[in-house]
Amino acid sequence: MFLVVGERINTSRKRVREAVSHRDAEYIQQDVIAQQEKGASYIDINAGARIGHEKEDMEWLIKVVDQVVTVPLCIDSPDPDVLKIAYDMVKKPPMINSISLEKKRFQTMVPFLNGKECKIVALCMDDSGLPIHSRDTIDRAKRIAEALEDTGISRDRIFIDPLIQPVSTNTLNAVTVLDAIRGIKHEIPGVRTICGLSNISYGLPQRKIINRTFLSLMMTSGLDAAILDPLDQDLMAVLRTTELLLGRDDFCAKYLKAVRAGEIQT
What is the rounded CA–CA span in Å between residue 120 and residue 161?
Answer: 10
Same domain membership, residue 106 and residue 165: yes
Same domain membership, residue 107 and residue 56: no
Same domain membership, residue 121 and residue 60: no
Same domain membership, residue 97 and residue 67: no
Q: Name the domain boundary from 193, 208, 223.
A: 208
* Residue 231 forms part of a structural domain: no
Beta bridge partner(s), residue 5 = 42, 227
Structure confidence at residue 80 (pLDDT): 87
**Mean pLDDT on 111-137:** 95
Whether residue 221 has a cis bond before it, omega within 30° of 0 = no
CATH number at residue 165: 3.20.20.20
Same domain membership, residue 110 and residue 12: no
More confident residue, 266 or 207: 207
Provide the pairing of β-strand 42-46 with 3-10. parallel
The answer to whether 66 touches 58, Cβ cutoff 8 Å, is no
What is the rounded CA–CA span in Å between residue 182 and residue 235?
Answer: 22
* Residue 115 forms part of a structural domain: yes
Q: First CA to last CA across the chain, in angstroms? A: 25
Task: Provide the number of structural domains found in the chain.
Answer: 2
Domain with 34, as residue range(s), is 1-71
- Is 259's pLDDT higher than 90? yes
* pTM to 2 decimal places: 0.96
Same domain membership, residue 119 and residue 37: no
Beta bridge partner(s), residue 45 = 9, 75
pLDDT digits (tens, 9 = 90+) for 183-223: 999 999 999 999 999 999 999 999 999 999 999 999 999 99
pLDDT digits (tens, 9 = 90+) for 155-165: 999 999 999 99
pLDDT band at 27 (very low <50, low <70, confident <90, very high): very high
**Mean pLDDT on 248-259:** 96
Q: Name the domain boundary from 208, 224, 239.
A: 208
Is 177 strand, coil or helix?
A: helix
* Residue 236 forms part of a structural domain: no
**Mean pLDDT on 77-81:** 90
* Residue 238 forms part of a structural domain: no
